[in-house]
Structure formats: structure tokens, C-alpha cells
Chain A
Amino acid sequence: MTSLPSLPTPKKLGLVIDLDVCVGCHACVVNCKEWNTGGYGTALSDQDPYGVDVSGAWLNRVHTFEVVPDGGEVVGEAGDARIVHFPKSCLHCEDAPCVTVCPTGASYKRADDGIVLVDEDMCIGCGLCAWACPYGAREMDLAAGVMKKCTLCIDRIYNETFEEADRQPACVRTCPANARHFGDLADPQSAVSIMVAERGGVDLMPEQGTRPVNKYLPPRARKPLADSAPSLPLAENTDGAKGFFAWLDGMLDRI
């Protein structure tokens, strides 16, 4: 049934991604592919995997953006531009447009925890849900001919044979920088909700009216690099060298 749940879901399971912390290592991308190629649904296929034109279905990808403040300069490392690594996976929207466009009922949003899933046995691979998603969260598996998307690692988070610490999505579990957090965003007392409240977590493309569950924590304010190190020594200049370095400077000059 591709109508959205009529009532707000009691739980809103989702991710909180800290853009201040992400170092862009792509470990979450790789572990997501690794887990989900053997987990829920068919394997995540690659086309021409060892060839020159390799491509494949991935459920999580890291983009890298440059942000230039108003009036800021882009001058190498001393400039004002900053680099933001930006992991992106399904946002499990409350008004998920990918769900309502599905003609077969394969795409659905769970009424109890709000996870958006694809029933691969019902998917005809028309691709309309990927068109409807403004975030590019869905990718067609070209080998199986069915749509793939983040399941929030539904086969991990409810898996009671796992240690408590492992009942988290693969991307969250593997992040070496602790930039990804998993929890219930409907519960204002949950760690993720508190994090969102304290750091001013934002929705992506709120103007698209999708009401995403996943939130992004913006990078913390930063002073320009030039202010942090006002007198960076120049490599060509030895003015002000003292002690051993002054002696070495003099000796090398004489040679």
C-alpha cells in the first residue's frame, strides 16, 4: 500500500549527521555497501566492476562541497573557503514522495517506526520513485531490475542475536569520527533529538515539502585560518631566527 501512514508514526527512526565532524573518509559508504550486499534483498550489483567504466548501486555516498562565506576569498589554505564533507543516504521522509508515486505498492513507509522500504518482490523497476526523490536516495540495481535504497539496516537494528552495540546501521557503527548517529527522532529525550536541539539540526531542501526525518548538524562557526596563525613564517625568510638556528643560518650563508 503506497499511501503514507495516516497518523504520524510513533517512532521516527533516522540518522543525525554531523557535518562538523565528518572527515570524508567514505568508510560509511563502503561498510554500507558491504553490509547491504549480503543483507536485506538482492545483492547490490556493480556493472563492469573491474573495468574502466565501473558503476554500481550504492545506498550512501559522500559528496564534498566548498562553502565560501560572503565576501570570503578562495586563496589556498589561508583563504576563507571551507570544505564540508557531506554523506547522503535516504532521509526516511515523513511525506515521502517516493512512496506515493509507486504504482505497485512495493515502496512503503512503515507505520510503527517510519522506515521507508522497498518490497523487492513487488518492484517492477519503473524508476519513478527515484525520479520523485529530490535527494537522489534511490538507485536502481541494474542486475536485479529493482529499486535499492537505505533500509536503515533494518536487519541489524532489530537483530537480537547481535551485541547491543552492533544494533545500529552499518554506516553509524563504522564511522571512525563518530559523525553519524542513529536514534528515534520522535522522542525529544533521545540522544539524537537532544543533539539536534543543541546544535540547530537542519532539514535538507525543506522547500520540497518532504519533511525528512534525518537531520544534519551544521559545521560550527570558524574564524579565518589567517586569524589563527597571524605570522606564519615564510620559507624564504630567516629574519628573527635565534640560537642554534641563527648559527646554522649564518654558517649555511657562508658556504
Chain B
Amino acid sequence: MHPAPSIIVFTTLSGLGYGLAAVLGLGLVDPSALATKVAHVLALVLIAAGLSASTLHLGNPQRAWRALSQWRSSWLSREGVMAILTFVPLVVSAWASLFEGRYLPTVGIVGTVMCMVTVYCTAMIYASLQSVQAWHTKLTPLCYRLFAIAGGFVLAAFFALCGGGNGVAMCLLALLFLIAAWVAKVFWRRNMLQAAPLSSPESATGLGNIGRVRLLERPHAMENYLTREMGFKVARKHAAKLWKLAFAAGGVIPAVLMLALLPLAGGPSLFAAMLAGLAVVFHLLGMMVERWLFFAEARHAVMNYYGG
């Protein structure tokens, strides 16, 4: 599948934003601290930036409002509806922290749950497509949610160490969810690499009972929408390299930094905050590579007609 930059930005930034908002909704940090207030604003900015990026690849973005209508059948529509509804508790929580220095438990928890539901809907846009076998697994929404929570805790650890509250708890939880997310992702990738293909050129053409089927000629000399959109391939050697990069930057480095921060995280310190900030940067870069591979490595059933 073609890894469109707008979709990679959309899923990583909104995932990170919802993760941070979900963590803030738990009320584990001091709502009156300046760092927490900034965190609330950042969560909303990340979500808004991600959602606006997602409209960039539309052919007719001026009609995007129509996408809210088919929530009964379409995960994309559900995602849109949930994204808008989730803004309500998140904005209320942010307001309470920013202007009243208060944490509202009910609104906070409702916001946390809705954040997770929204990220689930985002993942289901891809997981619901049987035509892309690698995505069509329950592990896809699990990975999306765990990555969102892990990213949320890494960011929350940074803000806690900037003066928002208990850094130890945040670092520990970040470490825990980083490990959980990457374990799930390793299973997801193994499933993608080892599963027998659901469809083949034989089943795609119905000619399998005659013999082995091979594409002799494409229907056209040049690329078309389908080969550009569905046929994007990444060389195996590069995929392996990029996977290691994503794993190191998105998982190992932030996890090691979180572990290293545990003895320093008792109170706010500039050095600890800088280390946590570094973890955030690495995690974000790693997630971008992970999301790029999520698209670039996935094979679409239509490629059985194109010899790919």
C-alpha cells in the first residue's frame, strides 16, 4: 500500500494526542501545574493537527462533513463522529485545568474512554479491510491503542518532570506500555510475514484448476491509480532495516530512557525533563517509521492481477 504522508501524520499525531489526553484524563498529574496546562493544550493541538492532516488526501475536502453520516456501517465515519464527540470532554477537562486548576474525575474518565474508542475506530478503518490481509487482524487495533497509550505516558512523563507531578509513576507506566505495545507489534509483524496468502493469482483469475497462473501482460504500459495506490512496495532489505530503526527509536531508546529516569524522577529537574523530552522525540520518530512500514509493507489482494 502507498504510504501517504497525510495518513502517516494523521495516525501518529492523533494517536499521540489521544494517548496524552487519555493519560491526563486519569488525573495522575497536578491539574494546577503549568506543565499540565501545557500538556492539555498540546494534546488538543496534536489531535487537531492529525485530523486536519487526514483531510489533505481527499479529492473533495469541502464535502468532508458528509463523512459523519454513515456511522452505522463505516469505520471511517465512526472515527469522524467519535473524534468530534471526544473533543467535548477533552475541552472541558482542559478548561478545568487551564482556568480553574481543577481535575474533574467523571469528565476525565469519560474522556479517557472516548479517546481509546476513537483510536480503536481509527485502527478499524484499516483492520476492517479483508483485501489487505496484514491489517485484517484484531492485533491491528490492539497495537494502535497500546502505541497511543505508551506515547501518552512518555509525553506525560515529560510533563510530570517539567513540574506536573509524579514522574516515577509516569516513567514506570510508560515503560510498561512501551513493552506491551512492541510485544503486540512483534506478533502483528510475524503474523504478516508468516501467514499464508488468502488470495493468489490462481484464485483471483479462477484459472487455478488449469495450472499455475502468471501475469504475462499488464493491461497498460504505464502505472495507474491502482498500481500507485495499492502496489507501493518497499524493498525487503530496506524494510528489515527500517523495522530495526522503528523498533530502536520507537521502543528501545524511550524505554531505556524511562528506566534511566526512575532514580531521577522524584522531583522536577531540568536534566530529567530533557532526557524525557529526548524520549518523546525518539518515540515520535520511531512511530512515524512504524506507521510508514504499516502501509508500505502491506500487500493488497489486487496485486494478484498485477504480478506484484
The chain A residues found within 8 Å of chain B, CB to CB, are 1-3, 19, 26, 29, 53-58, 61-70, 72, 82-84, 86, 88, 97, 99-106, 122-128, 130-136, 139-142, 144-147, 202-209, 216, 218-219
Number of B interface residues at 8 Å Cβ cutoff, please give it: 59
Which residues from chain A contact B229 at a C-beta distance below 8 Å? 127, 130-131, 140
Q: Which one of B69, B224, B305 contacts A88 once the chains associate, using CB atoms below 8 Å?
A: B305
15 intermolecular pairs with C-beta atoms under 8 Å apart: A26-B219, A58-B224, A61-B219, A63-B306, A65-B205, A67-B212, A104-B69, A123-B59, A124-B66, A135-B302, A142-B225, A147-B59, A204-B203, A205-B203, A205-B301
- Which of chain B's residues has its CB closest to A24's CB? B217
Interface status of B113 (Cβ within 8 A of chain A): no
Interface status of B214 (Cβ within 8 A of chain A): yes
Interface status of B8 (Cβ within 8 A of chain A): no
- Which of chain A's residues has its CB closest to B198's CB? A207
Interface status of B207 (Cβ within 8 A of chain A): yes
Does A67 lie within 8 Å of B213, measured CB to CB?
yes
Chain A's nearest CB lies how many Å from the CB of B71? 8
Does A139 lie within 8 Å of B225, measured CB to CB?
yes
Does B204 lie within 8 Å of A205, measured CB to CB?
yes
Interface set, chain B 162-219, CB cutoff 8 A to A:
198-199, 201, 203-207, 209-219
Interface set, chain B 60-80, CB cutoff 8 A to A:
60-61, 63-64, 66-70, 72-77, 80
Q: Which one of B60, B67, B206, B305 contacts A216 once the chains associate, using CB atoms below 8 Å?
A: B206
User: B21-63 toward A: CB 8 Å interface, digit per residue (1/0)?
Assistant: 0000000000000000000000000000000000001111101
Stretch at the interface among B11-19, B122-130, B141-149, B244-252: B122-130
Q: How far is the CA of A127 from the CA of B125 in the complex (A)?
A: 12
Chain A's nearest CB lies how many Å from the CB of B279? 34
Does A54 lie within 8 Å of B215, measured CB to CB?
no
Interface set, chain B 65-99, CB cutoff 8 A to A:
66-70, 72-77, 80
Known: A65-B201, A104-B67. A202 touches B206 (CB 8 A): yes
Known: A131-B229, A145-B59, A204-B204. A97 touches B130 (CB 8 A): yes
Interface status of B226 (Cβ within 8 A of chain A): yes
Which residues from chain A contact B235 at a C-beta distance below 8 Å? none
Which residues from chain B contact A142 at a C-beta distance below 8 Å? 59, 225
Interface status of B291 (Cβ within 8 A of chain A): no
Interface status of B273 (Cβ within 8 A of chain A): no
Which residues from chain A contact B80 at a C-beta distance below 8 Å? 103
- Which of chain B's residues has its CB closest to A141's CB? B59
Q: How far is the CA of A208 from the CA of B130 in the complex (A)?
A: 7
Interface status of B276 (Cβ within 8 A of chain A): no
Q: How far is the CA of A153 from the CA of B24 in the complex (A)?
A: 55
Which residues from chain B contact A103 at a C-beta distance below 8 Å? 66-70, 74, 76-77, 80
Most buried by B among A126, A131, A134, A218: A134
Interface status of B270 (Cβ within 8 A of chain A): no
Q: How far is the CA of A142 from the CA of B207 in the complex (A)?
A: 33
Does A105 lie within 8 Å of B230, measured CB to CB?
no
Q: Which one of A64, A105, A144 contacts B66 once the chains associate, using CB atoms below 8 Å?
A: A105
Does B214 lie within 8 Å of A65, measured CB to CB?
yes
Known: A83-B216, A97-B131. A122 touches B66 (CB 8 A): yes
Interface status of B220 (Cβ within 8 A of chain A): yes
Chain A's nearest CB lies how many Å from the CB of B89? 23
Which 4 residue pairs are nearest across A and B when measured between Cβ atoms?
Answer: A125-B59, A145-B59, A61-B219, A136-B302
